[in-house]
């Protein structure tokens, strides 16, 4: 099925194939195709609505998307994940739903990008984006394919969070990705991933119900 999906996928700059979307169709923003049709961000200060809600409460524990053309390691970042964080109006920080990002060449063996929660108290939620190092779901989305086109590789113009394949930890899966390119990207809510500092899951904003995925681009 995966091979057929890749053979038929049009060559667009974003991951446009939905491979895994557990719980899709249940509740608001339950259509995973909203995460596979390009970014439609709402800017610095509000979240977009053309998104797929990766909500653990609804059984949505991961989203796996595929690229029609493998993403190869080049100079600097090679892909970007667009979620829908935004600045809190009172200036107290940023509304975020951090995401752990992994890539694969074959859809079976995964390499996870390094990430670290650098808050002084690793057991407590922090709305400071500088504390969420190497996560997606941290930077507001400026790119909007309909209203504000931008180079997805330009973080200042497009927003979103960039990832460099060269930073993946050494492993057989990483070697495969560097040799053949990343064909799949897996997104998992940070609240479902254990922090090595604490042995418990990364904290989540108490008012959050999970990341809202807008798009993933590669170049």
Q: What is the pLDDT of residues 44-84, one digit of tens each?
A: 999 999 999 999 999 999 999 999 999 999 999 999 999 99
Q: What is the pLDDT of residues 146-158, one digit of tens each?
A: 999 999 999 999 9
Residue ranges, the chain, pLDDT below 70: 1-10, 26
SS (H, E, C) 31-99: CHHHHCCCCECCCCCCCCCCCEECCHHHCCCCEEEEEEEEECCCCCCCEEEECCCEECCCCCCEECCCE
- The answer for residues whose C-beta is within 8 angstroms of residue 183's C-beta and 6 or more apart is 6, 66, 67, 70, 71, 104, 105, 106, 107
pLDDT score recorded for residue 28: 73
pLDDT score recorded for residue 2: 46
SS (H, E, C) 104-138: ECCCCCCEECCCEECCCCCCCCCCCHHHEECCECC
pLDDT score recorded for residue 29: 94
**Domain locations along the chain:** 2-218
pLDDT score recorded for residue 7: 44
């Amino acid at each position: 099925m995966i091979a057929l999906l890749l053979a038929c996928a049009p060559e667009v700059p974003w991951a446009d194939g939905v491979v895994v979307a557990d719980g899709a169709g249940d509740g608001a923003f339950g259509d995973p195709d909203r995460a596979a049709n390009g970014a439609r961000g709402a800017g610095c200060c509000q979240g977009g609505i053309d998104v797929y809600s990766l909500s653990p409460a609804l059984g949505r524990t991961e989203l796996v998307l595929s690229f029609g053309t493998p993403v190869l390691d080049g100079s600097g970042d090679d892909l970007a994940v667009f979620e829908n964080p935004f600045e809190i109006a009172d200036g107290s920080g940023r509304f975020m739903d951090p995401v752990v990002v992994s890539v694969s060449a074959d859809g079976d063996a995964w390499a996870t990008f390094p990430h670290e929660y650098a808050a002084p108290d690793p057991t407590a939620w922090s709305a400071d984006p500088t504390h969420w190092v190497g996560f997606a779901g941290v930077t507001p989305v400026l790119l909007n394919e309909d209203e504000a086109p931008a180079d997805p590789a330009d973080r200042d113009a497009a927003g979103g969070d960039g990832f460099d394949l060269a930073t993946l930890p050494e492993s057989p899966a990483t070697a495969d990705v560097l040799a053949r390119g990343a064909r799949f990207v897996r997104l998992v809510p940070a609240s479902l991933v254990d922090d090595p500092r604490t042995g418990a899951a990364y904290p989540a904003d108490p008012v959050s119900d999970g990341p809202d995925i807008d798009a993933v681009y590669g170049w």
